[in-house]
Every structure is written in C-alpha cells, then in structure tokens.
Structure 1
Amino acid sequence: MALRELMGTAASEGLAIGRAVVMREEAAPQAMAYIEAGAEEAELLRFDRAVAAAAQELEALRSRMEAEEREQEAEIFEAHLMLLEDEELIGQAQSSIREQRFSADSAMSDAADKVAELLASLDDAYLRERAADIRDVSRRVIRLLRAGQGPDGVLAFVGNDEGLERSEKSVLIAHDLTPSDTAQLDTASIAGFITAIGGRTSHSAIIARSVGIPAVVGTGKAIDEVKDGQLVIVDGGTGIVLVEPTESELAHYRELQRRQAARQERLKPFHGLPSVSADGHRVELVANIGSVQDAQQALKQGAEGIGLFRTEFLFMGRPDLPKEDEQFAAYRSVAETFGKDAPIVIRTMDIGGDKELPSLQLDREENPFLGYRAIRISLDRPELFKTQLRAILKASAYGNLKVMFPMIATLEEWRKAKGLLEACKQELTTEGVPYNERIEAGIMIEIPAAALLADRFAREADFFSIGTNDLVQYTMAADRMNSKLGYLSDPLHPAVLRLIEMVIRAAHRENKWAGMCGEMAGQPMALPILLGMGLDEFSMSAAAVLPARALIAELDRGKLIDLADKVLELEDAAAVREYVKQHVPALNEVLD
C-alpha cells in the first residue's frame, strides 16, 4: 500500500504544497585511512589549512547573513566558527593525526562522530540537536580536505532531477538538513522541507522559522518511501505530511493557505501599535526568548519587549560556564535591541527538569522535575548565582531590565535570592560600576505552594510571572513530557484557572503587576479569560504576538470580567472551552 501520510514534529508553521525533491544521500564515508610514519607534520599542516579555509567560508556566510539582516542565521554561523576552535573537536582530530597517524579527513570524521554521538546520547533535546552542527562543520572541513569533491550544501540537490516541473515550488525531502543547507535554501523555489530526524530546537528548524519556510522534522524512516515528483503537502503547524493527496484534500489545504495569507495581511497594521482592548484597556504583549537573535526576531514580529529571557540557553551546549562579561554582553544586547524603555524580564538560570548542564555535574535523579533545579541550584551555589546577578545588574544600566527567580516555593527561598541580589548591588556600588538601583525583582509562579501564598509574596516581590507549563503539571500531578497524560496537561482546567486568578488578585491588592510567560499566554482560547481576570502582561512566542494583539483589539475587557468568574465554576477544561466559544464570537475566525 502506497504511503499516504507522515507524522513528525511541527518545526516551522505554515503550509507548503509542492513536488518532492529527494536529497540524495552523500557518498558513504570512506574507510579509515592512515599516513606513513614521519608524515604527521605535513598532514597536520594540510588539516590546519582546511580548517582555515572552512573558517573563511563560514565568515563569508556569516557576513552574507548579516548583510541580508538575517541575524539569527549569522549567530549560528558564528557558533560554527567557534567550533573550529573547539578542543574537543579540532584538538581531538589533531591528536589523532599526531598520535594514531590518521589521515586528516579520517581524523576529522572520527572526532566529529565521537562528539556528535556523545551529544546525541544526552537526555537534553537542545544538546542532542547540536550534534547536527558538529556534523555540518565536519562535513565542510572534509570537503575541503578532499579538494572540493562534491558540491557544498543542499542547493546541488535541488532542481537537477529530470522530469520535475521546475515552474512549481518544491518540497525538499532529506534524512537531515544542516544549518548550512537550510540557510542557503532558495525560498523562491523551495516551498517547505521534511526531514527524518531533528527537533523543534535544532538550528535547521530555527532557521526555517526565521525565513518562513514551513517544515516538519523527525518523521522517521517512513520518509524513505517518498519519491521524487510526488505531490506533497507539509503542515508545519501540526506536523502532518500528506503524500499524493486526494483532490478534496488538496482543495482543503489550498483554501487554508488562502485564509492564512489573508490573515497575515490583516495583521500587518497591528505592527507597532499598542495592545489595547476594544474598550481601551491596555496590556503588554511581550515575547519569550532564549538568545540575542531571538530578541531581534521578536522585535521584528511586533513584541513590545521581553517577558522571559531563558538565560539557561547561554549555559547549554558548551563544556564551560559563561563568564560574567559574556553574560553581561548578552543581556545588554537584548536591552539595546528593544531600547531604553522596553521591559526586559531576565529569568535566572533554570537548569534541571528536562534541561541538563553537563558542566555542573549534577547527579541523576529519579524525578528531576521535583528535584534539584532552578533556584535550588542557584541558592546552593551562590558564587555561580552571583556571577549571573552581577551581569544582569550591570546590563540594567542600558535598559529597563527586571530580574525574575524561577521555581520559588517558599518565602525563605525568595528572601535568600533577594538577599544575594542586594549583596551584588553593594559590590557593584563599591566598585563604582553603574546599575539600576531600582531594578524590579519578581518571582515566577509555577509551584502551587507559591500560588497559594501569593498574598504574602506580593507584599515583598515587585511582580509575578505565571509559568503555566510547570504550574499545570504540578497542579495536575501529570508529567508534561508524558504523552499518555496529555488529557491532564490542560491550562484551561478550572483548578489551574483558580490558581491563576488567585495570583493576579493578590498582586493587584498590593499594586503590583502580574504577567504570564507560559505557553497559555499566547493561546487564543485563553486570552479572553486572562484579559477578564486582569492579567497585565502576556509573554508568548514571537509569532503569536500580532495575532494576539488583533484578537485583544476586538475584545471588550469589561464584558469579560463576568466570563472569567463564570469559568471558575465549571467542572473541566472541555466545559471551559465550550463556554468561551459560545460567549466570545471574535474567536470564531481565529479558531476556524
């Protein structure tokens, strides 16, 4: 039976329809080759020249990305340049040439395989997906060592297959795409792509989102059954791929494409506007980010600032810990991206749970989500924590930065964290280093204990930001990584909504502001409820900002106060959804 449907990870939203172009596998790796005794220095020189040439290529790519204002891709190739100086990769290859008399290309291949396999074996998804970067850099060096044999990148595989109608856009089919491949895709001829491996945080997926190419990754071995020239539909929002769709399926997706394009046109006027409800109630729509390049993308997509800077991504994917100056530079860059007045909420390192950091050498835990993580690590390792706090304070001289502590469960934890922040202020004052003495300090409400004590926390903290991703799993006792428990991982369950309402009310009683930085903040179904509850700040993925602003502009906040009260009395999330659908007509088009 012919393949009809694939299911993978939704990596880059949008719909693509086109003829499949299968990226041919590269030639099988050559067998390990050796050099004669006494030839080591000459082989090392050949290797070093290839590495230098690879650096020149990457620098050219980086410069081109910057010239095209594709900052996100430029940052990725900057990281590739750093890999060419990495002791674990380049140093290991040099040692293999010197000590084992491997040929240069064999040494490079062997070193890359070892480092990539180590990363691929880790539990952390972000680190696993950095293996693709290692292989990308290795492939570039090996190509240069082999005197340029074979073309560089995916472009050579697109458009060379006989029998395909070249006036049509293509859907690229590949086992994997390297960041170099993805950055060089011609959007005029490539409608979208599908890969067998990869995840949403792979650099290829990040680049696809930045240039607006619909993509589905991680479809597995079934992708091998897709043939050149077959008509393919890629739904980058759901992870669904249809092969040789029926006429009715094709018509349905073409209509969806038309609607999406029309929606995007309607959203353009909302860029740069304040976020105001139909009856004049003002809120802030800001973005969740993990890097400086994410901040640049968020600004382009209309965010008013940053509601969550996940600083742990500065610590991950590297053998060491970032120094104070490196962190300061990142925080300052984000502040300067948005300007002096835009709010920038920086969450201190949230390692643990599903995010590992090998450089900390943490013990393996049976239940890491309930274990030694986030603020618990920071308070236990105050020198590590103070390095980050000092960097944040120094950057606060360049913008409206705020500091937020994750996983706070008790008042004692909050007071210890605030005490260390005050100690860092004193140090900087003594050193004569400028910082914002009135920097706001708040907590992330993601543990039910903190939500239940919100009235006490509100007397001391400057703000709250509700982290619904963890709040839901802790409230419902359901691991959000367990697909079998998806029915419990619903932020619209009345039990979760009651905690959220309690937190917002407690903040407002003390004249403090309350925000939300979990995925819920950008969900159209949740927006009317949260607006009715009085949430002040909504932090979401950058792509969700303009749709949220357009929806809020149609909502009358005064009328939603009663709706927010009513849903708290319902029995389950399904009842909440049905009630909101019936009472908020503006949702009809968004949810269609």
Structure 2
Amino acid sequence: MKVYHGKSVFGGIAIGKTAVYQKSEQQVKRVKTEDSDGEWARYQAAREASIEQLGELYDKACREVGETNAAIFEIHQMMLEDDDYNESVENIIRTQQVNAEYAVAATGDNFSQMFAAMDDDYMRGRAADVKDISERVLNNLSGAGKTGVTTDEPVIILADDLAPSETVQLDKDKVLSFVTVHGSTNSHTAILARTMAIPALIGTDIPLDETTDGVMAVVDGSDGTIYVDPDEETMALMQEKKRADEEKKALLQQLKGKENKTIDGKKIMLYANIGNIKDLAAVIQNDAGGIGLFRSEFLYLEKEDYPTEEEQFKVYKTAVETMAGKNVIIRTLDIGADKQCAYFNMEHEENPALGYRAIRICLTQTDVFKTQLRALFRASAYGKLSIMYPMITSLWEVRKIKEIVEEVKAELDEQGIAYGEPKQGIMIETPAAVMVSGELAKEVDFFSIGTNDLTQYTLAVDRQNPKLDRFFDPHHPAILAMIRMVVENAHKAGIWAGICGELGADTSLTKEFLAMGVDELSVSAGSILPIRKIILETDLSQYGKDIK
C-alpha cells in the first residue's frame, strides 16, 4: 500500500479503481508555407469550432453547477474573440509564413508568460486560461476535436492538473473522485468540484505512471489522503467510514422543516449564500430559511455591458417570488479587487484590495448605483427583499447612500412606479466599521459580517495569495473579538447581526457564535443541515453565554 497526501477541495470517501489522465497536448512543428491566406482561414475555422464547443460547455455547466460557476467558459469565449490574441496569430502566420498550429502555440506561450508575470493575482490566473483555449484551438486544427475525460466504469481520476473545461465534462456517474498533482483551492476547477460534490484532492505528490494506473484506491477527502492499493485493514476502515458518512447524510435529511433553535430556546436565522437565481434550487433543496447573501455583482461580471434596470429587476423579482415570503438579502454591486469588470474601465491599481471597489464605485458612479437601486426597490414590492451595502468604513457613506435612496424613491413616485420598503443593512468587513459599529447601528436595520475581508484587512494578509495561507487565520482572537463587539453594538441599538463570510460555515465555531448572540448565519446551501444539527444539539446554558 502507498499513501499520498494532498490538500482537500471537497470531502467524502471515494473507493474504486484509478485512471491516470494524460493531457493530449499537441506536438507542434514549425512549417513554412506560401499559403498564408489558407492558414489564416484554417485558424478562423478552428477558432469558430472552439467557440461553439465552449458554448456547449457553458450550457452543460449551467445545468449542472449554476450560471456563476459556468462563467469561466464565457470568459474563454471572450478570450478567443480578443483582438490582441487574434492579431498576434495572424501576424505570425503572415510575417513568418508559417502554419496556423505554430502561430497559435507561439501566441499561447507568449500571452501565458505575459499574464504569469503580472503583479495582480487575478491576471496571473488568466495564464492557465490562455493555455486552455490555445490547446482547444490546436485540437481543432489537428482534427482531435473535443477533449476530456472518458471512462466506461466509475473511476478515481489521477492527473497533473485539470482545466475547468475538462472538469465540467466529467461524467459524474463515471467519476468517483479526482486527485491532481497541481492546482489551487481558489481555482475555477476547485470551485466546480465543490459545487459538483465530487471528493477531490489537489497538490498531491503522487506519481502518474503504471504504478498508480488501474489499481484499487481510496480517496479520503476529510484529511486529504489517497491510499493506493490499500491493505485489507485500511479498506475495511475506509468502507466503514464511507457507510458512516452516508448515514450522516441520510440523518441530516430528517432535519428538514425543523426550527433552528437550541435546546434552551435560542433561535437563529440560517440562510444561504448564492451568486445567481440558478442557485435557488439548492437553497430550497437544503431548506434554508432565506437568502442571506445574493452576490449581485455576478449580474455584471457575466455581461459585456452594464445590465439594464429591467434585466436586474427580473432577476431580483424572480428571487423574491421563488423564496415565497422568506427574506432575500441582496448585496449591491461589489466589484473591484479580485472581481474585475472590463466595461467599467477601471485603471490599474497597485493594491486593488484597498482601492476603487464596492460602495466606493457606487458612490462615485451614482448613475450605475441608481439603476440598481431602482430595480431593487421595484422588486421589493413582490416579496421580502432587503438591501445590503458592502465595504462600509464610515458614517458619511451610509448617510450618502440614504440621500441617493431618497432620490430614487422620489423618481419612482413621480413616475407612478410601485415599490416596497426594503430593510437596509450594511456589511461589516473593515476594522473601521467594527470600531464605529455602535454609531453605524443607529443608521441601519441590520449588520452582516463579511469575515473573509475582515480577516484580510485585520491581519494585513492578502487572502488571494496562496503563499500566505499559514498567516490567514480567521480564528485569530482579534477576529473573534471584533465579531463579538459588532454583535453587542447591534443589540444595543436594537438591530440584528449575522455572518455571511466563509467563517459562518465553520462548524467548529457554531456554538461560539451562538453564545456570542449572533442572530444569523448565511452559508453555502450544502452547509445548512450540518449547522442545523449543531444548533439543535446545543444547550447554551451549559456551554456558557460569555466567551472570554
């Protein structure tokens, strides 16, 4: 038996045979040609075929993992339509009088190196995307067509790495798990794996040869381990662990419909985070009490131009109607930092996490902000909708938002357009907001603590930088003290305070949050029932209400 360790992307136990997946990378030769027009035409045909394939992948991903997670394939399509990329290919074909394959490979390498050398983490991440689209065009030029993982029986896929396009083509009925040598927990592939609920490991130091191909193995996603050719004792242990996991899932289903209340009577709102209305099915399936974070920026990121008021209104209206009277908290536009939107024409910033983003954009480009607010207020007439404003640092921002809101309501009144009166809250995700939360609480209806950015700004650690993973500690005493302070200040002012960051789904802290008096936890849909189980089993009179 051989044991290899990696980093877990998604938990669970997978037992089955392995299949080593080797990329069918094209061996490109430089061939001189007199027919540059013909080579350019070949490239254009291969490019169009690639765009069509990416469209099919986008549709498949939308059905299986939601529109938000499928957006990478739209990005790939846009990259193939990019003038700079296409002009480079044509220039190499014509000036060097070479074959289309060589021009594509050279362009892909050049652009990939250019992106990899950039300071911005998001742009560095595009290096892998350029390689992916170039490989797709090369496959079409050679007649190889679609690529992906194919297997006749359910297997554990072993690979050096998997591109998003390869991951989404995995037949979930035939793939038990995947284990890769490279990759990052923030990659598109990792996000897709979590959404598809496939046990997966990355960064695994495992050989990809005949010693690991076609043999029995066990992937333990809970501790990031793969056992290759396990002995009888290990196999029996893992089979028992798998049975226990399945029993836990079945038991969790019995918690649907139960109130989120501790043994001693403390109630808490348990909501779900979503990126688009495509995610609503998972919210309903997992019995969430509402939507605690609707990331409206994905409406902007998925488009090539500003979404209109009507487009936004239809999405928000669908969300509140579907949730049938349950609260839907929609966060206003939160782009900038690692979420760039080309048509906003934002200038390059040395430190975008501290730059022009979120509410700062809205209070500067008030026409964009007003369009969204009009759509939100109109949709609030159709259900229980609340609005949440991100990246607040001071009182003047909240008061300026209120002025703009009043202007929007006056416009709607003048035009005779119906709207509701949504509750309005703010995200607490900066140390400044924490320190003045007592004053902010008097101005708004609720707080939602964004622990991802709060941790980043408090610890001065870039959460996008994998080299700093060991320094990014959301359990840091300073973070927990800030959460406690925010909750206390909210309650003094008579408003509620929740958590919508990743920390809200950390079950090791659920009891502590309850004891602090946190009123709401908003998490991924799949975390709802496990957290409900902890809530129902907690007795705060025994646990202690004051956490020091």
1:360 to 343, 346, 352: 346
1:457 to 429, 440, 449: 440
- What does residue 582 of structure 1 align with? none
How far, CA to CA, are the matches of 2:347 and 2:300 in structure 1? Answer: 13
Structure 1 residues 69 and 24, CA gap change in structure 2 (3 angstroms): closer
How far, CA to CA, are the matches of 2:364 and 2:62 in structure 1? Answer: 41
- What does residue 305 of structure 1 align with? 290
User: 3-state SS of the aligned residue for 2:544?
Assistant: helix
1:403 aligns with 2:387: yes
Alpha carbons 2:321, 2:382 under 8 Å: kept:
no
What amino acid sits opposite 2:441 in the alignment?
A: A
Structure 1 residues 280 and 126, CA gap change in structure 2 (3 angstroms): farther
Structure 1 residues 83 and 475, CA gap change in structure 2 (3 angstroms): closer
1:563 to 540, 544, 548: 544
Q: Aligned-pair distance for 1:530?
A: 2.1
Alpha carbons 2:449, 2:501 under 8 Å: kept:
yes
What amino acid sits opposite 1:176 in the alignment?
A: D
Alpha carbons 1:124, 1:356 under 8 Å: kept:
no
- What does residue 22 of structure 1 align with? 20
How far, CA to CA, are the matches of 1:205 and 1:47 in structure 2? Answer: 31
Deviation sequence 1:356-391 (CA, Å, 0-9, x none)? 6674123203xx655555434543444554454445
Q: Aligned-pair distance for 1:28?
A: 3.9
Q: Aligned-pair distance for 1:517?
A: 0.9
1:346 to 327, 330, 333: 330
- What does residue 191 of structure 1 align with? 176
1:552 aligns with 2:532: no
Q: Aligned-pair distance for 1:213?
A: 1.4
Alpha carbons 1:123, 1:356 under 8 Å: kept:
no
How far, CA to CA, are the matches of 2:502 and 2:215 in structure 1? Answer: 36
How far, CA to CA, are the matches of 1:139 and 1:450 in structure 2? Answer: 47
1:11 to 1, 9, 12: 9
How far, CA to CA, are the matches of 1:50 and 1:482 in structure 2? Answer: 36
Q: Aligned-pair distance for 1:3?
A: 7.0
How far, CA to CA, are the matches of 2:355 and 2:50 in structure 1? Answer: 43
Structure 1 residues 535 and 220, CA gap change in structure 2 (3 angstroms): same
What amino acid sits opposite 2:188 in the alignment?
A: H
Structure 1 residues 94 and 304, CA gap change in structure 2 (3 angstroms): farther
Q: TM-score, normalised by structure 2?
A: 0.83
Structure 2 gaps of 5+ residues are none
Structure 1 residues 483 and 62, CA gap change in structure 2 (3 angstroms): closer
Q: How does 1:442-591 map to 2 (within 5 A)?
A: 442-475=425-458, 486=470, 489-491=473-475, 493=477, 495-556=478-539, 559=541, 563-565=544-546, 567-568=547-548
Structure 1 residues 67 and 392, CA gap change in structure 2 (3 angstroms): closer
- What does residue 319 of structure 2 align with? 335
What amino acid sits opposite 1:170 in the alignment?
A: V
Alpha carbons 2:4, 2:204 under 8 Å: kept:
no
How far, CA to CA, are the matches of 2:393 and 2:124 in structure 1? Answer: 31
Alpha carbons 2:313, 2:378 under 8 Å: kept:
no
User: 3-state SS of the aligned residue for 1:285?
Assistant: strand
- What does residue 154 of structure 1 align with? 149
How far, CA to CA, are the matches of 2:114 and 2:368 in structure 1? Answer: 26
Structure 1 residues 467 and 59, CA gap change in structure 2 (3 angstroms): closer
Structure 1 residues 196 and 333, CA gap change in structure 2 (3 angstroms): farther
- What does residue 229 of structure 1 align with? 214
Alpha carbons 1:71, 1:296 under 8 Å: kept:
no
Q: How does 1:171-320 map to 2 (within 5 A)?
A: 171-219=156-204, 227-245=212-230, 248-271=233-256, 273-279=258-264, 281-313=266-298
CA RMSD of aligned residues (A): 4.0
User: 3-state SS of the aligned residue for 1:538?
Assistant: strand
How far, CA to CA, are the matches of 2:214 and 2:318 in structure 1? Answer: 44
Q: TM-score, normalised by structure 1?
A: 0.77
Structure 1 residues 424 and 240, CA gap change in structure 2 (3 angstroms): farther
User: 3-state SS of the aligned residue for 1:29?
Assistant: coil
How far, CA to CA, are the matches of 2:468 and 2:192 in structure 1? Answer: 31
How far, CA to CA, are the matches of 1:34 and 1:274 in structure 2? Answer: 72
Q: Aligned-pair distance for 1:35?
A: 4.1
Structure 1 residues 401 and 95, CA gap change in structure 2 (3 angstroms): farther
Alpha carbons 1:126, 1:317 under 8 Å: kept:
no
Q: Aligned-pair distance for 1:312?
A: 4.4
- What does residue 379 of structure 1 align with? 363
Give the percent of matched residue pairs that are identical in Structure 1 and Structure 2.
Answer: 38
How far, CA to CA, are the matches of 1:337 and 1:195 in structure 2? Answer: 42
- What does residue 399 of structure 2 align with? 415
**Farther off after superposition, 260-269 or 124-133:** 124-133
Structure 1 gaps of 5+ residues are 160-165, 569-592
Deviation sequence 1:327-355 (CA, Å, 0-9, x none)? 72685377268435232323334455665
What amino acid sits opposite 1:305 in the alignment?
A: G
Structure 1 residues 430 and 209, CA gap change in structure 2 (3 angstroms): same
Deviation sequence 1:528-563 (CA, Å, 0-9, x none)? 222233322211122211101122222345x26x71
2:140 to 134, 141, 144: 144
Q: Aligned-pair distance for 1:399?
A: 4.5
How far, CA to CA, are the matches of 2:314 and 2:83 in structure 1? Answer: 24
How many residue pairs match? The answer is: 545
Q: Aligned-pair distance for 1:193?
A: 0.7
**Farther off after superposition, 172-181 or 59-68:** 59-68
What amino acid sits opposite 1:152 in the alignment?
A: T
Structure 1 residues 301 and 125, CA gap change in structure 2 (3 angstroms): farther
Q: Aligned-pair distance for 1:233?
A: 3.5
Alpha carbons 1:296, 1:337 under 8 Å: kept:
no
Alpha carbons 1:327, 1:388 under 8 Å: kept:
no
How far, CA to CA, are the matches of 1:477 and 1:76 in structure 2? Answer: 29
User: 3-state SS of the aligned residue for 1:154?
Assistant: coil
Alpha carbons 1:442, 1:464 under 8 Å: kept:
yes
Alpha carbons 2:362, 2:369 under 8 Å: kept:
yes
